[in-house]
Chain A
Amino acid sequence: MNEAIKMQLSAFVDGELPENEKELLLRRLSQDAGLRQQVAEYLMVGRAMRGEKQIGGVNELRDRVANELGEKPMQDGHVDIAASKNRLLRPLSGIAIAATVALVGILGLQQVTDVDTPEVTPPDAIVDTVDFPTQPEADDILRQYRRIHDAHASDSINARLAAFELRQESTDQDEEPPLAPTDETDQPEVADSDTE
């Protein structure tokens, strides 16, 4: 994650990001599984720093985030956010807002209507009630289920195209291709003569 995107996230959670940039950020979050994962990790770090219950692997995550932000490794449960001069660390708890809004954006962009998705709620409520890190994974599972269903249950053009779109989406979200490139794959040979 580069400095620019970190600054954008920070400004976003502070409510200082212009609308046009906000839209771009949400779009980027919708397409970048790694970035969403980073947001989810930040959320867990925020929880830990506010003295909430410990989360598995959080020490490693805090060190990792601190390294990325150019800070010294944080001490267990004793990070004074207010004292930090680093603008990027200050609003970590507020990243919950960004993450929630991003989720709404992501779902909207994917045209998935999740009936249970709450509207944007105050940050405290979000941190306590929204189990955020699971959401991208949940969507991936559902996407795979839909693909399997389409492969078994429907030959319609809509289902076929939807399956391709889902596969395209999942390919887009992976930084590394999920499947080994097969340059040697034979291309279809179609004779020049007419089919009849």
Chain B
Amino acid sequence: MIKAGPHSTVTLLLALVGNCLFLAPVMAADRGPHDWLDRMSSAVQTTDYQGTVIRISDGRAEALKIVHSVSDGVIREKVIAQEGNGLEIIRNGNEVHCILPARKSVLVEEWNDQSTLFSTLPSSNMRFGNEYDVKIVAKERVAGRETVELAIKPHDVYRYEHRVWLDVDTGFPLQTQLIDDDGSALEQVKFADISLGRKIKASALKPSYSTENFKWYNQPRRRVTPVVDSVWQSTDLPIGFVLISAQQEVMPGTDEAVTHILYSDGLANVSVFIAAHANKKVSERSRVGASNSYSTVIDSYRITAVGEVPAITVEQVASSMRLR
């Protein structure tokens, strides 16, 4: 039996540390793109973080301070716009308060328990299909941290390309881009600085303003009825898109019910709204950031498709809606 002397122990430790240092990059390099997406899904649900995000859309850039914490399964978040009207969003579980200090108002909304502010890709159990290629295309530094850059490229013109930069250590997305077919970024969210996995103090999640004398507005109560078997269907859905849900929803402030049908390819989503009153005009084509809409009249119904997809997609989906 060979006894390990002090020198042997040091040697062993050095060897272990050396192996760990050597193995870490190998493990990162060995991960496939889908492994990285799984890590990202887990990271955005479980990681505490705070930092500054730059959001660029429609040629406008704005900075947001973000604090995010998960404790006992409850998500708490605070988002502060650094420019403009000082918008501040406070989230405590599924209740969200949007504070508008300039108007001394608070808008109250309810969010899905599991939704997160910073999530631009589907969770691992909602994998997109063969309509996209996922590749690791580069290694870069973002917010002072090493990242792998993933490109999620569509095979056709019916969806946008996504780029996402994931933190090598945690899998957390430090930058995301939505890319138009000409290669330009339609929307971008990027951390300028971030602290990951550190303890978040409760005081960091409190509103910056006293809202004592503010007016509070509740979210309009939505009147939604699920539709099991819609009489409407698309006869020419772009490949990969499937029906996710269909429901009747009464539009806020009116008694008018519209049918809302949601299609998705797992990454891109298109909503179709069907209103019985075709005489109510909706702009035929419009665009806000990456979101396009197209409206037309079919069988005396006003059909409007909306989604973060190219204009051709909403036009094809809306135009192909037919009564069964």
Contacts and interface: CB of A to CB of B under 8 A. Distances in A.
B288 interface: yes
B120 A164 contact: no
A157 B191 CA distance: 12
A190 B189 CA distance: 28
B295 to A, nearest CB: 8
Nearest to B78: A190
Contacts, number: 188
A153 B265 CA distance: 11
A195 B202 contact: yes
Interface string A155-196: 111111110100110011000011111110101101111111
Interface residues of B, number: 79
A193 B202 contact: yes
Interface stretch (B17-25, B97-105, B136-144, B153-161): B97-105
Task: Tell me the interface secondary structure of chain B in the complex.
Answer: strand
Contact of B286 (A113, A152, A192): A113
A95 to B, nearest CB: 20
A123 B105 CA distance: 41
B282 to A, nearest CB: 5
A188 B95 contact: yes
Interface residues of A, number: 53
A84 interface: no
A152 B289 CA distance: 18
Interface string A41-77: 0000000000000000000000000000000000000
B220 interface: yes
Nearest to B293: A142
A139 B202 contact: no
B285 A114 contact: yes
Contacts of A196: 71, 199-200
Nearest to A186: B95
Contacts of A193: 202
A69 to B, nearest CB: 29
B108 A182 contact: yes
B316 interface: no
A185 B282 contact: no
Nearest to A147: B252
Nearest to B275: A141
Contacts of B3: none
B170 interface: no
Contact of B53 (A139, A157, A190, A191): A157
Nearest to B249: A148
A178 B90 contact: no
B220 A188 contact: no
Interface stretch (A10-18, A19-27, A30-38, A130-138): A130-138
B284 A142 contact: no
Interface in A90-111: 111
Sorted from nearest, which 5 A-B pairs have the closest CB atoms? Answer: A153-B269, A155-B115, A149-B271, A188-B92, A115-B285
Interface of B: 48, 53, 55, 57-58, 60, 64, 69, 71, 76, 79, 87, 89-90, 92, 95, 97-98, 100, 103, 105-109, 111-112, 115-120, 187, 189, 199-203, 205-207, 211, 215-220, 245, 249, 251-253, 260, 262, 264, 269, 271, 273, 280-291, 293, 295, 304, 306-308
